[in-house]
Structure 1
Amino acid sequence: MRDFFAGIGFVIAGIVTIITAQQFPTLPSLQYGPSLFPSLIGGGFCLGGAVLALNALWLRKKAVAQEAHGSPSLAGSLPEKTNWAMLLPPISIVFYILASDYLGAMLTIMIIMLLLMLLRKTSPYIALATSLVVSSAIYFIFSRYLLVPLPQGLLLGGSLPWIS
């Protein structure tokens, strides 16, 4: 039931984020304003929280149905989450903060994604291709279209050769 309550908490946090973001000032010259990204994040919280809560209810219903039929409980067959897996996101954030000025944002994001995918036992070829494509897309979207100044890193002399 912990996942159910966590899911409900995420839905509530998403709703609060969306309501708060709608109170941000609008800019008359743009079709979107400062409320766009917080609203998208709030929507993601709502969607993810709803999926988490519904999945918890579905698993609970399935476990109760199996116990009623005399089958062993479903809870015993679920894989346990290891505690180290919960430390990976904060470690990744700290690594990005410490390494991005030297390696650059795109290379740092690629390394983080590659390691996380390999730790989740993804095929090395798929992990390498996915991390390369997604990190490149993230870098170009944020640096070119959203005009966010991302670190290019000292490793390549402060500029990426394919970016003019």
Structure 2
Amino acid sequence: MTFDPAPEVEESVEKPENSYDLASGVVVVVFGSAILLAVHDYPTLPSGELGPSLFPGIIGGLMILMGVLLLGRWFNDRKTVRPAKAKPEAVHWRGWINASLIIGAVIFYLLVVDFLGFLTTVSIMTVGLIFRLGAKWWVAIAAGVLTTLVVWLIFNKVLLVPLPLGFWG
């Protein structure tokens, strides 16, 4: 019994250019810069303690860092890889829908937090988003409510940040 050798297969090490890194990097750097610009005018505390610009400033700085890393990855891929024939990529609607729901949740928060209060609004948001991501209904409710309570305890009781009570208070 003889075996025929496997046919030679031409391997391609070329991969398509990742334009998502470019777009994401630019957007993240712009938003991070906007956050730093906004918190630049926040008042400082006379006692020398950390002021209200600390956490948003950290987030803005980290966003800029991550955006620069994405841009660096895009530049490195562009420099070393040339696509032979780029096929049009399929649109992944699920990702766009999930991203839109997160943006919608933030808008929902801004519109109703003063009426419903922090605990109710954030519980509705987190339960809805966790359920959308595929969790069972009881897991979504438990995780959403517990997460909301932990965040409320940290900000309201530990950091003494007043959060809206809505119609509850």
TM category (shorter chain) comes to 0.5 to 0.7
SS at match of 1:114: helix
Paired AA for residue 106 in structure 2: I
1:8-57 Cα distance to aligned partner (Å, 9 max, x none): 34235535654775676643413312431231121231244246546767
**Structure 2: runs of 5 or more not aligned:** 1-18
Residue 6 (structure 1) aligns with: 24
Inter-partner Cα distance in structure 1 for 2:152 and 2:141:
16
Q: Select the structure of larger CA radius of gyration.
A: 2
Aligned pairs, number: 151
- Which residue number in structure 1 is paired with residue 10 of structure 2? none
Distance 1:97 1:8 in 2: 25
Specify every segment of 5 or more residues in structure 1 that has no aligned partner in the other structure, as ranges: 160-164
1:30 matched to 2:43? The reply is no
Counterparts in 2 of 1:78-117, with a 5 A limit? 79-81=92-94, 83-117=96-130
Kindly state the Cα deviation for residue 60 of structure 1 after the two structures are TM-superposed.
7.6
C-alpha separation in 2, matches of 1:47 and 1:147: 29
Q: How many angstroms does 1:58 deviate by?
A: 8.6
Q: Cα RMSD (Å) of the superposition?
A: 3.8
Classify the secondary structure of the residue corresponding to 2:49: coil
Q: 1:132 aligned to 2:150? A: no
**1-side partners of 2:89 and 2:103: how far apart?**
29
Change (3 A) 1:87 1:19: closer
The structure with higher relative contact order (CA 8 Å, sep 6+) is 2
Is 1:153 the equivalent of 2:161? no
Of all paired residues, the percent bearing the same amino acid is 31
What SS is found at the alignment partner of 1:135?
Answer: helix
Letter in 2 for 1:7: G
Give the secondary structure class of the aligned counterpart of 2:162.
coil
Alignment of 1:21-60 (within 5 A): 21=39, 26-50=44-68, 52-53=70-71
